[in-house]
Amino acid sequence: MKNIVANLLIPFVLLVLLVIGCKKDTAEETQYTVTTVPLQILGYTSVPSAVQGQSFVRQLPARGGRPPYIWSLVSGSPPPGLVVESSGRVSGTPNATGDYTYTLQVKDAKGATAKGNFTQKIGTTGSVPFMILTPEIPAYGQNQDAGYQFFVQGGALPWHFTISGLPAGVTYDPATGVISGSPTAASSSSITISLTDANGNEASGSPMSALFAVNAPVPIGGGGGGGGGVIGCPSMYDGNYIGQFKYEYFVKGQDGSYSPVLGSLQLTVTLKCLATAGGSTVLNITHANCSDPAFGCQLGGCTPVMPSVATLPASPPANPSNPSASGQGIVVMFPNGSTIMTSNSPGNLNVSSDGRTLSNSLDPGIANSTWVASGGNFPSGSFPPGGPVTRFISWNLVWSATK
C-alpha cells in the first residue's frame, strides 16, 4: 500500500499581534510568528505487502492537528477480508489477491479533516514483518497542538509503545503510540521510541531516535522603536556562516555486529536580524547550503522553510565557555521536510566573544550531544535497523562574510 497523493507539509505560520508594553499614550507592539502544523495523512515508501491467507495489521501514519484521530473510508474498498478501523488500522486476513485502491479520511478533535488515496497489493507468497518506520515528525509550536501517529505493520496485538524524552505538556498512548498535547516551552531534543508486540517481540527499527523540536514564538520586529524600525537590528551576527556538523552511525556486518562509521556534513547559512529582545537576538535564516544530498539543498543552495531561525545571545560574553540561555539555538528547516537543529537547552550553545564562531558547548559532559538531524536518507539510525542509534557529535559555524 502506498499513499499516492502528493502531500508536502509546510508548517503553517500564523501571525499573531501581541501587546508587549504600554505607556500613557503609546502602545508598543511586536508581531510574532507561531508554528502550527495542519492535519495531514502521511505517505510512506515501499513496504512488504499483505499476503493472501495470512493475518495482517497496519497502522497508518498521520501528523498535525489535535488528536485523537478518527479514520473512515470515503470511497472504494479495501482488499476482501481487511477492514479499516477508526483508529487508523487496516486489519484482517485477505482472501483474494490483486491491487485495491480506496480513499481514507482522518478527522481530529477540532473537526479538521485530511484525505489520502491508497493502493494496496495482496500477494500470494512471502510474509509480513513486524516493523515501525522512521517517523517524519515536524517542528511544533510552543503552546500549540502537537499530534503524531506512527506507521506500524505486523506483529501480534496488542502492541506496546514506550516513548521517552517528550517535552513537558506532551504525552503518548502506550497502545497506539499516538503523541498528543501542547508543549509548554521551546525545546530541541531527541526522543526514543520502542515497540514490542503481545509476544514480547521487538519491531524492526526499534528502538529508534527522532528529533522533537518546539519553536518559540518569533518576533518579526515593528513597533517599540519609536520610528517603526526593527528593534536591535542589524546585529553583529548578520552575514554568512559556514561550518561542519559531525556524527556517528552504525552499520551491521556479516557477523551480526554493528560497527561505527564517522560522518560529517558542511552547512552554510545566511543570517539576517529580525529583532533583539529579552536577552536574545533572533535572526532569520534566509539562505542555506548543505553538502549532504539528504537535505535537498546542495548546488546553489535553497531558501529554508519558515520558521528557520537562529536565536543567539544579544551580547556574547567575554567568557569563551558561554552559558547560553534557554531557547537559544539554531533551526534549519529544508524545503524537502528535513531538519538540522541545535539544542536550545541552557548552556548547550557556545558563542565567541565577537559573535563570529558558533558551536556546541565546550562542557565535555554535553559537547557531543547538542545537535540532531532528520529527514530524507540521512542515517538517523543503524543499517539495517535494530542496532545502536546515530550519535550526533560536535558542530561549529564560523562567520565568513556579510551578505
CB atoms within 10 A of CB 178: 21
Q: What is the pLDDT of residue 121?
A: 83
Count the Cβ atoms, other than its own, within 10 Å of residue 231.
18
Verdict on whether the full-model pTM lies above 0.75: no
Sign of the torsion formed by the C-alpha atoms of 149, 370, 332 and 264: negative
305 with 159, same domain? no
What is the dihedral angle through the alpha carbons of 15, 295, 2, 249, rounded to the nearest 10 degrees? -120
Instruction: Return the C-alpha cell found at 79.
Output: 482488499
Total number of residues shown for the chain: 403
Q: Are residues 211 and 237 in the same domain?
A: no
* 106 is a domain residue: yes
Please check whether residues 83 and 162 belong to one and the same domain.
yes
DSSP of 118-169:
EEEEEESS-----EEPPP-PPPEETTS-EEEE--EE-SPSSPEEEEE-PPTT
Please tell me whether residues 247 and 205 are part of one structural domain. no
**Which residues in the chain land under pLDDT 70?**
1-32, 44-48, 219-232, 317-323, 367, 376-377, 380-386, 402-403
Residue 383 has a pLDDT of 57
Please state the domain count of the chain: 2
Please give the pLDDT value at position 44.
Answer: 63
The domain that holds 78 is classified in CATH as 2.60.40.10
What does the pLDDT read at residue 230? 52
pLDDT, position 1: 43
Q: Is residue 137 part of a domain?
A: yes
Q: What residue has cell string 540561555?
A: 325
**Predicted pLDDT of residue 59:** 93
C-alpha cell at 143: 503552546
Q: What is the pLDDT of residues 344-371, one digit of tens each?
A: 777 888 888 888 899 988 777 776 778 8
pLDDT digits (tens, 9 = 90+) for 17-40: 222 233 333 445 566 677 888 888
The closest of 175, 191, 177 to 140, measured between CA atoms, is: 191
Three cell numbers written together for 80 = 476482501
Which range of residues forms the domain containing residue 300?
Answer: 232-401
Do 197 and 261 lie in a common domain?
A: no
What CA–CA distance (Å, rounded) separates 328 from 396? 15
**Amino acid 355: pLDDT:** 86
Residue 272 sits in the same domain as residue 334: yes
Do both 392 and 294 map to the same domain? Answer: yes
CA-nearest of 31, 35, 33 to 221 is 31
**Residue 368 grid coordinates:** 557531543
Domain termination residue (choose one: 170, 188, 215): 215
Q: For residues 249 and 135, state if they share a domain.
A: no
